[in-house]
Amino acid sequence: MEKNLTPKRTVVIVGRPNVGKSALFNRIANRRIAIVHDQSGVTRDRIVREVAWHDESFHLVDTGGIRLFDGTQEKNVIEMAVRDQVDVAIADAAVVILVVDVLAGLQPADEEVARLVHKSGRPCYIAINKCDLPQHERGAGDFDRLAFPSFLVSAQHNRGIDELMAPVVKALPPKTEAELAEAAKPLRVAIVGRPNAGKSSYINRLLRSDRVIVSNVAGTTRDCVDVPFTIGSGPTARRYTLVDTAGMRHVHKIDTSVERFSLFRSEEAVRECDVAVLVMDAEIGPTTQDKFISSMIQREAKACIILINKWDLARAKGFTETAAIEHMREMLPFLRHVPVVFMSAQEGYNVRNSIEAIDRVAMNQKRVLPTGVLNRTLANALARTQMPSKNGRQLRFHYATQTGNNPMILRLFVNDARLATKPFQDYIVRNIREAFDLEGAAMILQFRSRIKSDGSKKEEEPDETLLPDGQKRRPIAKGRSPKPKPQRSRREKPSLGRGKNNLTPKSRRPHR
Tens digit of each residue's pLDDT (9 = 90 or more) over 162-221? 999 999 999 998 877 666 666 667 889 988 888 888 888 888 888 776 544 344 444 444
Q: Report the alpha-carbon distance of residue 82 to residue 336 in Å, rounded.
A: 23
How far is 127 from 160, CA to CA, in rounded Å? 9
**Three-state secondary structure call for residue 201:** helix
User: Stretch 66-77: mean pLDDT, rounded?
Assistant: 56
At position 464, the amino acid (one-letter code) is E
Residue of 223, 203, 123 lying closest to 167 (CA atoms): 123
411-429 mean pLDDT: 92
* Cα gap 370→61, rounded to integer Å: 16
- Cα gap 184→192, rounded to integer Å: 25
Give the separation between CA 33 and CA 43, rounded to whole angstroms. 11
Greatest mean pLDDT among 63-67, 397-401, 456-460: 397-401
153-167, 198-212, 233-247, 450-464: range with lowest mean pLDDT: 450-464
Q: In this model, does residue 140 exceed pLDDT 70?
A: yes
**Residue-wise pLDDT tens digits, 11-47:** 999 988 888 888 898 888 876 655 554 555 545 456 7
* Cα–Cα distance measured from residue 153 to residue 163, given in angstroms and rounded to the nearest whole number: 9
**Top-confidence residue, 481 or 418:** 418
Going by pLDDT thresholds of 50, 70 and 90, the confidence category of residue 502 is low
Q: Which segments of 194-287 are extended strands (E)?
A: 225-231, 238-244, 275-281
pLDDT of residue 210: 54
Q: Rounded distance, CA 41 to CA 67, Å?
A: 9
Residues near 164 by Cβ (< 8 Å), separated by ≥ 6?
A: 97, 125, 127, 151, 153
**168-176, long-range: CB < 8 A, 24+ apart:** 168/11, 168/95, 168/97, 168/125, 169/53, 169/54, 169/56, 169/58, 171/94, 171/95, 171/123, 172/9, 172/11, 172/56, 172/58, 172/94, 172/95, 173/7, 173/8, 173/9, 173/94, 175/9, 176/6
Distance CA(23)–CA(35), nearest Å, equals 8
Report the mean per-residue pLDDT for the chain. Answer: 78
d(CA 122, CA 145) in angstroms, rounded, equals 18
- Give the pLDDT confidence score for residue 275 in this predicted structure: 92
d(CA 160, CA 99): 13
CA separation, residue 92 to residues 7, 48, 121 (Å): 6, 12, 12
If you average pLDDT over residues 128-136, what whole number do you get?
86
Judged by DSSP in three states, 161 sits in helix
pLDDT grade for 255, boundaries at 50, 70 and 90? low
- What are the DSSP calls for 292-340, one per residue? HHHHHHHHTT-EEEEEEE-HHHHHHTT--HHHHHHHHHHH-GGGTTS-E
Q: Give CA–CA dist 461/418, Å, rounded.
A: 7
DSSP string for residues in 339-354: -EEE-BTTTTBTHHHH
Backbone φ and ψ for 345, nearest 5 degrees, come out as -65, -30
What distance in Å separates the CA atoms of residue 373 and residue 81, rounded to the nearest whole number? 12
Lowest-pLDDT range, 71-80, 281-290, 491-500? 491-500
Q: Which residue has the higher pLDDT, 118 or 55?
A: 118
pLDDT higher than 60, residue 340: yes
Rg (CA), the chain: 29
Point out the least confidently predicted range of 52-56, 65-69, 156-160.
Answer: 65-69
Does residue 3 have a pLDDT over 50? no
DSSP character at residue 280: E
Q: Summarize pLDDT for 285-305 with one digit per residue, the tens.
A: 888 888 888 888 988 889 999
pLDDT of residue 134: 81
CA distance 208 to 223: 21
